[in-house]
Structure formats: structure tokens, C-alpha cells
Amino acid sequence: MTFSLRDQLSNQLRSLRRYALALARNRDDAEDLVQETLVRAISGSRTFRPNGDLRSWLFGILHNVHVNGVRREQVRARGASAIEAMTYGQMPPNQPDHVELMRTIEAFSTLPDEQRRVLTLVAVEGMSYQEAARQLDIPLGTLMSRLARGREALRVEMGHRDRAQPALRAVR
Amino acid sequence: MGGDPISLNQDADLHLYMDGEMEPARRAAFEAQLASNPALAAKLDEYRHQQDMLRLGLDMMAAVSVKETETLAGRLRWRLDMDRFSRRVAPLAAAMLLVMGGWSLTVWVQSGAGTGPQLAGEVDDVPAFADEAAEAHSKAIALNTLQPSPPQVEAAPVPMQTAQVPLPEGHVMTVTLPAIGPELTLIRASIVPWNHGTALQFLYREPDGELLTLFVASGGPAQDGTLHTVVQDSLRLVYWRAGLVAYTVTGNKADGDLLTVAKKMADSIRRS
């Protein structure tokens, strides 16, 4: 099946936002990250091969922009409190799983960077292990151990939140 | 949750199975383990539910439409379409140029022949100032994309001149700026603080509307004027050092064109 460039880009824009949200943990920073990725992609469009993988290319640029930004302390992750405000503002309150969704994203935002990256690429974006390892430039074994640790940490964190906030269950 | 404990191997297999990475021959055996071990099956359900919540949560937050982002995505689409088109017609255009004898310029640029700075070719390591130049250029493009450009003044070619670059501890260094031909219009000049001091960024517009950055940074080891090319974050950069000053040129030009511009600039500084 062949998708037009327009379709591919529309799909990738949403994927880029998801990945940017996972990395930046803040809606404004995530949007900045996506915009800067697009700017760099425009500037370097000639490096994209005609039959290349658009998602890998764009994710690679976004990853580099994020890593460089963190290194220069220009893109600051504002932490779990900011993502809490973001989820309240973004998710409709009548969503059946609203509270659980919010708590999952909050718990996710407390995970270390490398676990969030791997979880997003594999569990959210559905990349194969090979593709995700190549994208992050890490060995396959490292990717698998980060994935397992990330899932387990998220499960434990959700368990803690369940025990700490039993009253929230009643809202569902 | 009771039943048999989960072994380390089973825990590792759980992820392979869930992510579709388990070999087909092993799937049936693992499904038998799931059927006989409620604790293992419960953990799989928990992970799957966690994954669904994560996908749904991030997807809902990503479902926004920001005008500036959509504009940039539109520009990227247009650019990729144009590049695709250019690649299709490039062989024909090259053949026409050869017929017209225009190949000599291409040969000159690719071989690095002629007087002036030498060409070192592609390098792997990106110096910090060149990395910073790529960053500064991308930001300038973003600013230019999201904000209307300031009114431009028709100006005569800018002859070679000098600029004062502030250094740490109150010192000032005078750097030579390259001569700029009439084809480039200066639209913005700014002082850029970076990790190793202060740099100057000059943003030019070319006749076809493309933007070009000249990034001038002071300090660092003195070297000859050899030109280096490198790709950083999908952006082509050409840089060289003259004395204690490092120059980087970058923009969305074809590789040969960018090198030609950089070569002209480096020549003008060398002759000063």
C-alpha cells in the first residue's frame, strides 16, 4: 500500500507529538520540539532519500534536537506537576477512563528518560525492537532490558498510586 | 494473584510475546505456560492494559492542531515534493549542462582545484562552533517562518569589513568578515552567546528566497583555512578557521553551491 506524502506527514505529525510529549513531559516544550524538528527537516530535506523511512528520519531529528536541547539546558523538563496540569487540560472529564488515563501519564512521566523513550517507541508507536534500537542507537539487549524495567516500574508506580489515592477510584 | 511464581525467563518472554517479537515456533509453548500460570497471565493482562492506557493518553494529548506547526508541516511537505521533483529532472538537467560545456565549474568545485583554501572533504566530528551554527540557523529559519520578515533595503554589495566580538573578562577581539556579493541580502545580524563565549550570526537571503547563515566564533586553536563539510541534524555545514576565528556557513543550498559560497568568503578573508 502506498500512502501519499501528505498522508504520511499527517500521520507522522501526530506520532512526533506523542514522542515529543513523552520526552519533554510538557505540552509547550513538546510543541516547540516538534516545530524545531520540522524546521530542521525543512533545512535538511535534501538528506531524505526518496524511498527512505519518513518516520525514522523525523524521529531521528526529533531525538537529536531533544538530546542537544537537554545538553544545552534549553529544553527543560518541568516534571510531573506540569504534566498533571496538562492532562487535566487535555483530557475531556467525561472520558470513562479519565482518572486512570491521567494517572498512567503522570506515572509515566516519573520514569527515567531512557525508559520513556523505549516505551514510547515500542509500546506506543509499535516499532520493532530492531527499529527502535537503531533509532536510539543502542544495542538490542539494552533496549529489551530498558523496556522490561520501564514496564515494571510503571506497573509498580501505578500500584503505589492505587494504594495512595483509593478515593479516585470512585470517580470512574 | 496466586499460582506459580514467574521465572526470570518467563518474564523476559512475556515482553517478546506481547510485542510480537517471539519466534512463531515458541509461541505455542509460551501460550501453554500462560494457560497454566495465572500469575503470568495476569501480568500480561496488566502490561497490555497499561500499554492501552499509555497509547490512549498520549494520543489524546497529541490530538491538537497548532497553526504554526501545521504551517511548518506544510512547508516540509512542499520541500520534500520539490526535492523529489528535482531528483527526477536532475539527470536531464545534468546532461544539458554537459552539452553546454558547463561541466567545468562542477569539476572545479568537486576537485577543490584553483587557488585559495583547500577542501578537506567530509568529516565525522562536528566542532562545537559548527554545531552551534546549525542550531542558530534553525532558530533563525523558525523565526523567519513564524514572523514576517523585516522590510529589506536594497543595498550595494557589502565589502569586507571587521567586527568586534566580546570575549570573557571584558576583552574584545576584532574579527574579519568576508566580502559579500550582490546576490546575498543581509536581513539580520545578531550576537549569539554560546557555551564558549560569544559569536556573531549573519542571516542572508538569496535571490531564490532561501536563507543562509554565516556564523563567526572567536577563540579555539589557530589553523589554516582548509574547508570542511559536515552534516549536522540533517543540515549541511561548511566551516573553516582563519587564525583564531572560526567561520561556518550553512543553509539549504545544494552541496556544491554551499561550498562555492563558503569558498568565496574564505578567499576574501585570506586576501585581507
Q: In whole angstroms, what is the distance from residue B118 CA to residue A119 CA?
A: 47
Is B131 in CB contact (< 8 Å) with chain A?
A: yes
Cite the DSSP H helix spans in chain A: 5-24, 27-43, 54-71, 80-90, 98-109, 113-119, 129-136, 140-164
Boundary residue ending a domain (A55, A78, A101): A78
For the cut 50, the answer to whether the pLDDT of residue B131 exceeds it is yes
Average pLDDT in the B148-153 region? 46
pLDDT band at B135 (very low <50, low <70, confident <90, very high): confident
Nearest CA-CA distance, residue B140 and chain A, Å: 10
Amino acid A108: pLDDT: 93
- The whole domain housing B58 covers 8-62
Average pLDDT over residues B164-179: 65
Does A72 reside within a domain?
Answer: yes
- Which amino acid appears at position A17 of this protein? R
Residue pair A89/A69 in contact by the 8 Å Cβ criterion: no
Q: Are strands B185-194 and B197-205 parallel, antiparallel or unpaired?
A: antiparallel
- The residue among B40, B55, B61 with the most chain A CBs within 10 A of its CB, best to mutate, is B61
Q: Are B225 and B262 in contact (CB under 8 A)?
A: no
Determine the pLDDT at residue A76: 45
Taking all residues of chain A, what is their mean pLDDT, rounded to a whole number?
Answer: 79
pLDDT of residue A17: 93
Tell me if residue B119 falls in helix, strand or coil: strand
Cell of B261: 559560497
Residues 6+ apart with CB under 8 A from A171: A98, A99
A88 lies in the same domain as A102: yes
Asked if the Cβ–Cβ distance from B69 to A48 is below 8 Å, we say no
B137 or A145, which is more confident? A145
User: For position B150, what pLDDT does the model report?
Assistant: 47
Q: Supply the angle between the helices A140-164 and B38-62 in degrees, to the nearest 10.
A: 90
| Residue B71 burial by Cβ neighbours in a 10 Å radius (0-12, 13-18, 19+) | middle
In what helix (H) or strand (E) does residue B191 lie, and over which residues does it extend? strand B185-194
Q: What is the DSSP pairing of strand B227-232 with strand B119-122?
A: parallel
Co-location of A84 and A104 in the same domain: yes
pLDDT of residue B108: 33
pLDDT given for residue B259 in this prediction: 86
Domain assignment present for residue A53? The answer is: yes
CATH of residue A161's domain is 1.10.10.10
Taking CA atoms, B236 is separated from B32, B77, B212, B224, B255, in Å, by: 55, 20, 11, 21, 7
**Interface touch A42/B252, C-beta < 8 Å:** yes
Q: How far is CA B78 from the centre of its chain?
A: 18
Name which of A91, A133, A82, A132 is nearest A109 in CA terms. A82
Report how far apart, in Å, the C-alpha atoms of B170 and of each of A58, B165, B166, B167, B173 are: 42, 10, 7, 6, 10
Q: Going edge to edge, which strands form the sheet with B185-194?
A: B119-122, B227-232, B235-251, B211-223, B197-205, B185-194
> What's the rounded mean pLDDT across residues B74-92?
69
Residues B123 and B56 in one domain: no
Which residue, among A27, A43, A73, A116, would best test binding to B if mutated, counting the most B CBs under 10 Å from its CB? A43
Q: What percent of chain B has pLDDT over 70?
A: 67
CB-based contact, B52 to chain A, within 8 Å: no
Query: B243 and B146: one domain?
Result: yes
Rounded to an integer, what distance in angstroms lies between the CA atom of residue B249 and that of residue B212? Answer: 7
Residue from the list A10, A64, A124 with its beta carbon closest to the beta carbon of B55: A124
For residue B149, pLDDT over 50 is answered with: no
Nearest CA in chain A to B85: A50
Is there a contact between A144 and B15 if contact means CB atoms under 8 Å apart? yes
What pLDDT score was predicted for residue B97? 40
User: Which chain B residues are Cβ-neighbours of A65 within 8 angstroms?
Assistant: 233
The answer to whether residues B43 and B124 belong to one domain is no
Tell me which amino acid residue B41 is.
A
Please report residues of A whose CB lies closer than 8 A to that of B231: 44, 47
Compute the mean pLDDT over every residue in chain B, rounded to the nearest whole number. Answer: 74
CA B58 to chain centroid, in Å, comes to 27
B201 contacts B132 by C-beta, under 8 angstroms: no
How many CB pairs (< 8 A) connect A and B? 165
B131: closest chain A residue by CA = A68
Give B50's pLDDT tier (boundaries 50, 70, 90): very high
Question: Chain B residues with CB inside 8 Å of A47's CB?
Answer: 231, 234, 236
Contact B246/B217 with Cβ under 8 angstroms?
A: yes
The answer to whether B225 touches B241, Cβ cutoff 8 Å, is yes
pLDDT at position B152 is 46
For residue B120, pLDDT over 80 is answered with no
The answer to whether position A28 is within a domain reads yes
Do A63 and A90 lie in a common domain?
no
Enter the ipTM: 0.79
Give contacts of A84 with chain B, Cβ < 8 Å. Answer: none
Residues spanned by the domain of A32: 7-78
Q: Is B237 left (phi over 0), alpha (psi -120 to 50) or beta?
A: beta
* 3-class secondary structure, B152: coil
Q: Which of B12, B50, B76 sits opposite A38 (nearest CB)?
A: B76
Chain A residues near residue B44 by CB distance under 8 angstroms? none
Mean pLDDT computed over B250-269: 83
Indicate whether A69 and A13 sit together in one domain.
yes
Would you place residue A44 in the very low, low, confident or very high pLDDT band (cuts 50, 70, 90)? confident
- The tally of domains found in chain B comes to 2
Name every residue whose Cβ is closer than 8 Å to that of residue A8 and which is 6 or more positions away in sequence. A54
Q: B115: pLDDT confidence band, cut at 50, 70 and 90?
A: very low
In a domain, B144, yes or no: yes
Burial of B53 by CB count in 10 Å (0-12 exposed, 13-18 middle, 19+ buried)? Answer: buried
Q: In chain A, how many domains are there?
A: 2
